[in-house]
Copies of this chain bind each other. A is one copy, B any other.
Amino acid sequence: MEKKYNICLDIGGTKILGAIFNEKDEIVYRLKKKTKSEGDSSDNVESVIIKVVEEMIAESGIPKEQIHAVAAGAPGVIDQDAGIVLFSPNLPWRDYDIKSSIEKKVGIPFYIGNDVNMGVLGEYKFGAGRGHQQVIGFFIGTGMGGGMILDGKLFTGYKHKGAEYGHMVLEPEGPLCNCGQRGCLEALSSKQGMSAYIREQVTRGRKSMMADYVTEGVFKSKALKKALNAGDAVATEAVNRACHYLAIATGNMINTISPEVVVYGGGVVEATGDLFVDKIAAEVDRYCMPSIRTTVELKAAALGDDSVIYGALALIEEH
């Protein structure tokens, strides 16, 4: 029997997105599942993946024998060639050979990569970076993720720890980041960075539709969109400030890499359309060399929430 389907997963700290692709790279079945209640040992997270895969096979009605491979994007430092999770900040994995373990239990080839790397790989193969050899991505969420396609290949650096330009320092005495640095891009331009700015302004007495969302933790991307549409001044300032630093970071990455495409993805970009890309593009020329800038396109991610899932598909096709 021909193996013509692939199962692709986006494994987050709180939820798993799943899709089954047919041989034409079309999604024929989808699943969304929460992970948090399942406990926090690596064995349990793994068992969730296995359960999700088995559930997807059962509910889609596709025979297991027709599944060619399973692949996943997950947070953390991951060796995508060997299928080993070296370190994961939100999941309890360390030097864990999840590939062998899942393959033994499920009996289907399994691949895994860092979620942002998979997102950029997805955009490179199927989305905004299609047809180009040098593609870099900024994924703007609670954190700030980076991923690079260099000379047509996912680049992750020594021990797969690279592409962390989301933590590029732009203000040495700026706000403290979770990473321990001050004034890095994540602390300035991620949802955490924007939420901190809004919180500061609300604390000093300014009004904002975002006030309730940022009292504890970060806002939801949809709430930001609503506030921007209503002309909320504090929310607008937060976005302008985030885009200012994203423009500097983008300029620095353009000078460093000479990419053909810079892709912006993540929940905030997905919710606000071209807003972030337009604001960054309006300012970036100041922060890179004109001769390099002329051959770079700035684009919003084309696959939206599915970037990571498509990247997992690309990882299967690369093997």
Query: Do A287 and B169 form a contact, CB below 8 Å, given A164-B256, A256-B164?
Result: yes
Task: Give the interface residue-count category, chain A.
Answer: 35 or more
User: In the complex the two chains form, is B134's CB within 8 Å of A252's CB?
Assistant: no
What 0/1 readout, one digit per residue, does chain A (160-174) give for beta carbons within 8 Å of chain B? Answer: 111111011110100
Chain B residue with Cβ nearest A248: B169
Report whether A156 and B258 are in contact in the complex, using a CB–CB cutoff of 8 Å. yes
Instruction: Check if A133 is an interface residue, CB within 8 A of chain B.
Output: yes
Are A157 and B134 CB-contacts (below 8 A) given A162-B256, A172-B248?
Answer: yes
Q: How near does chain B come to A124, taking the closest CB pair, in angstroms? A: 14
Contacts A158-B259, A258-B161; is A168 near B252 (CB within 8 Å)?
Answer: yes
Residues 117-157 of chain A: 1 if any B CB is under 8 Å from the residue's CB, otherwise 0? 00000000000000001100000000000100011010111
Interface centre among A87, A156, A179, A181 (most CB of B within 10 A): A181
Q: For the complex, give the distance between the alpha carbons of A289 and B165 in Å.
A: 10
Alpha-carbon separation in the docked complex, A42 to B181 (Å):
48
Check if A204 is an interface residue, CB within 8 A of chain B: no
A303 in the interface, Cβ–Cβ < 8 Å? no
Interface check A251, CB cutoff 8 A = yes
Flag whether A39 is at the interface (Cβ < 8 A).
no
Among A167-205, those with CB < 8 Å from B are 167-170, 172, 179-182
Known: A134-B157, A150-B150. A163 touches B287 (CB 8 A): no
Q: Does A260 reach chain B (CB closer than 8 Å)?
A: yes
Partner of A161 from the list B87, B158, B292 (CB cut-off 8 Å) is: B292
Q: For the complex, is A257 an interface residue (Cβ under 8 Å from B)?
A: yes
Does A319 sit at the interface, judged by CB under 8 A? Answer: no
**Is A295 among interface residues, defined by CB-CB distance under 8 A?**
yes
23 A-B contacts (beta carbon < 8 Å): A77-B291, A87-B291, A134-B158, A134-B162, A150-B155, A151-B153, A157-B257, A158-B258, A158-B259, A158-B295, A159-B258, A161-B291, A161-B292, A162-B255, A162-B292, A164-B255, A168-B256, A169-B248, A169-B251, A172-B286, A181-B251, A181-B286, A181-B288
